[in-house]
Amino acid sequence: MAGAPLKRQRKSGMSLDDIREILSWHPISELDQFRLSVKMQVMRIVFAIGTKALLDGGLGREAAREFNSRGKHLRAI
């Protein structure tokens, strides 16, 4: 799990909080040229990383790992 967020941060030079904020800019039709360009670049990077993880099978493993860790947490409560 630690690899994917670090990879996004390394590729974009932004923290995950920065990426989350940029992706929350709405509505897209009302963004100025600069913000639209930044949002499209961030979306391209996130899409590329997600696609690569899906094709490599890492996305399924990551989802299973997340599900298992949450299950352990819920059983402990």
| Residue 42 main-chain phi, psi, to 5 deg | -65, -45
Alpha carbon 48 to its chain centroid, in Å, reads 10
**Which has the closest alpha carbon to 48: 4, 3, 2?**
4
Domain ranges of the chain: 3-76
- Per-residue pLDDT 10s for the chain (77 aa) are 455 655 655 666 788 888 899 999 989 899 999 999 999 999 998 898 888 877 887 667 777 777 787 765 555 55
* pTM for this model (two decimals): 0.59
HSE-CB at 3 with a 13 A cutoff on CA atoms is 8
